[in-house]
Structure 1
Amino acid sequence: MSHIPYQPSPNRYDEIPFRHCGDTGLQLPAIALGLWHNFGDDRPFQTQRDIARKAFDLGVFHFDLANNYGPPAGSAEENFSRILTKDLAPFRHELILSTKAGWNMWDGPYGFGGSRKYLLTSLDESLQRLGTDHVDIFYHHRPDPDTPVEESMLALHQAVTSGKALYAGISSYSAEATKEAAAIMRDLGTPLAIHQPSYSMLNRWIEEGKPSLLEAAAEEGMGVIGFSAMAQGILTDKYLNGVPEGSRLASGKVNEDFFTEETLDHVRALNDIAEGRGQTLAQMAVAWVLRDQGKVSLTTALIGASSVEQLEDTVKSVKNLDFTDEELSAIDEHAVNSGINQWWGATASR
């Protein structure tokens, strides 16, 4: 193993465009690397290290975590801390690190939800695991119907005013709950900077309603970073001929109810459209969520990668983000909600 210090590519900011995050001064790359899968203790550390280094080489300077990412919970933050120490610490000022709290993390009533005690305690523990004194974005990972939204927002406000986070965000809030939370944070003097919902061609809930979540976020001056653009791997060529061994579906990491013959028919049709664009289905899936939608366009697509090769392939999606009206019309025939959203529907109010 070489002990030569890591030196990132000098051209790292030439490949991926960055976009302003809502009305803030924060600029994010169009592609961010999520550590939800592939960075737990069940994966080789050197593979994780190679992926993170290649991501930064390619201009992916936003790394997204949460307290419970693993397995086991917390291990993704610990493993990323090792990568920071070994490779990325000299470039910390260039990185955007985000983490979250909201889902189950430890036993007892303060190990999940939206209480001030849980959110701020979790942030402290995340910082310890990451080995850094602050994160750039701290999210409430999901609304908690058993905690007043005011309490959860006060916790995010305190996280920022304490210097432990530079920006505050929310994830998986409905449009109505987003506007409620944004109004509270604006009054506190810490506007919400970003929303992280699930979004893909098979999961279009953020486009629905009046206002839609996309419209609500734009109205509140928030950026939007969409996760699961590839619908947990279903919007790739991996499942076109069945379920391969070693896939997320085969290993139980994806709900098998998401995978139906009707969905597969849509996926095959979308794959044909992607081939006509000179893209893989995965590349088109990411390009589609990043497409120009005017004022409600996404800031960033959050992707995962199990290998350097997969990362490099997915990042190529930014080479073709333009769609003709004919392509969008053809995609709309098959880009239909397919019951793949397991996060939507919670509200931020009691």
Structure 2
Amino acid sequence: MAYLPSEQRYDIMKYNRCGRSGLKLPAVALGLWHNFGGVTLFENSRAMIRRAFDLGITHFDLANNYGPPPGAAEENFGRILKLDLHGYRDELIISTKAGYWMWPGPYGDWGSKKYLVASLDQSLKRMGLEYVDIFYHHRPDPETPLEETMSALDLLVRQGKTLYVGLSNYDVETTKKALAILKELGTPCLIHQMSYSMFNRWPEDGLLSLLKAEGVGSIAYSPLAKGLLTDRYLNGIPADSRAASSSPFLNPQDITEDKIAKVRRLNELAKARGQSLAQMAVAWLLREGRLTSVLIGASKVSQIEDCVGALANLDFTPAELQQIEEILK
């Protein structure tokens, strides 16, 4: 049967303005980093995309190297677009990135204009698109002049291959310089994508305040600390978990007794709030409009449903926030 999205999809989701732009993004977006490639079940990937859209998730985040193998996530997403969402393209925000290794030789990595233009051309072909909504530089390049990388982003907007540009994994000082260059070029940065969670709080040391002052949106990836901020590891390492596999996300040595003790205490607080731990971790990031959006990963439909459920309660009392700080310190 042909897929028909839920008519209530826009009643479920919360949408936030992205910086000082005209664009609104869903508070919860779906990342296609590792469970949408060539080694995963296509129908499961398809079911997750469809359910996400039913829940009002309009933003799907990719990169040239997402898979495995590299490029496979974009190819599969292109198939799903053609099968299920081809009539809804104008309701979607599709983002991709370039900045990590993608093909052999000196032109398949980092931040040269040669690499970025070629990479986006390849991404568009894999997904069957004329343009993406957001194109990110995935990481700073220590050797290519920042002016060249930013001018490549500006060029891609002017060529009509992307509507907006963003930065990912940039530190505070490099972000500040990049924002200034893009503003001078006439293509302001829309959004910054950073790793951020209760266990990983580096954006609080200047980055979030810089983005707010400059009117740039913010989206956090790994909001669940690679799965630690869920109930998965409360009683050991499950056989089917990331930590038990050869996953690049989480290793057994990351799951220390100290962290698990904190997770257990956080889980009790989440229960008292009427939330799962994952829901509280998402809500904590989104509270008081601190971020534009949170980017979740998922391997099953139920995980997407759980995270979207966080939107039912984004408020924290001062006592709850103090208790979280005491647990984390």
The TM tier, using the shorter chain, reads over 0.9
CA contact (8 A) 1:35 1:69 kept: yes
Shift of 1:47: 0.6
- Aligned with 2:96 (options 96, 99, 103): 99
Aligned-partner Cα distance in 1 for 2:267–2:141: 37
Counterpart residue number, 2:131: 134
Aligned-partner Cα distance in 2 for 1:152–1:242: 44
Runs (4+) of structure 1 exceeding 3 A deviation are none
Cα shift readout 1:228-284 (whole Å, capped 9, x = no counterpart)? 000111110001111111211111222424221111111111111111111111111
Q: Does 1:317 align with 2:314?
A: no
Aligned-partner Cα distance in 1 for 2:326–2:105: 46
Cα shift readout 1:63-111 (whole Å, capped 9, x = no counterpart)? 0000000000100000000000000010000000000000111112211
- Aligned with 1:303 (options 281, 296, 304): 296
Shift of 1:60: 0.2
Counterpart residue number, 1:277: 273
**5 Å matches for 1:69-84?**
69-84=66-81
Counterpart residue number, 1:25: 22
Cα shift readout 1:129-171 (whole Å, capped 9, x = no counterpart)? 0100100000000111111111110111011111000000000
Aligned-partner Cα distance in 1 for 2:111–2:43: 35
Cα shift readout 1:41-66 (whole Å, capped 9, x = no counterpart)? 11111111111001001000000000
Specify every segment of 5 or more residues in structure 1 that has no aligned partner in the other structure, as ranges: 337-350
Shift of 1:218: 1.1
Q: Does 1:38 align with 2:38?
A: no
Provide the TM-score with structure 1 as the length reference. Answer: 0.92
CA contact (8 A) 1:179 1:220 kept: no
Q: Does 1:232 align with 2:226?
A: yes
CA contact (8 A) 2:26 2:293 kept: yes
**5 Å matches for 1:50-199?**
50-199=47-196
Q: Does 1:219 align with 2:197?
A: no
Provide the TM-score with structure 2 as the length reference. Answer: 0.98
Aligned-partner Cα distance in 2 for 1:37–1:290: 24
Question: Comparing both chains, which one has the higher relative contact order based on Cα–Cα distances under 8 Å and sequence gaps of 6 or more?
Answer: 1
Cα shift readout 1:178-202 (whole Å, capped 9, x = no counterpart)? 1100000000000000000000000
Aligned-partner Cα distance in 1 for 2:234–2:307: 18
Q: Does 1:252 align with 2:252?
A: no
Aligned-partner Cα distance in 2 for 1:103–1:308: 29
* Structure (1/2) with the larger helix percentage: 2
Shift of 1:219: 1.5
Which stretch of structure 1 is more off in the superposition, 4-13 or 119-128?
4-13
CA contact (8 A) 2:96 2:135 kept: yes
Supply the AA of the counterpart residue of 1:40: G
Supply the AA of the counterpart residue of 2:276: T
Aligned-partner Cα distance in 1 for 2:306–2:93: 22
- Aligned with 1:202 (options 199, 202, 209): 199
Aligned-partner Cα distance in 1 for 2:141–2:271: 42
Q: How many residues align?
A: 327
Supply the AA of the counterpart residue of 1:20: R
Aligned-partner Cα distance in 1 for 2:295–2:75: 20
Aligned to 1:263, the other structure's residue is in SS state: helix
**5 Å matches for 1:3-22?**
4-22=1-19
Aligned-partner Cα distance in 2 for 1:198–1:335: 17
- Alignment RMSD: 1.0
Aligned-partner Cα distance in 2 for 1:239–1:96: 33
Aligned-partner Cα distance in 2 for 1:63–1:308: 15
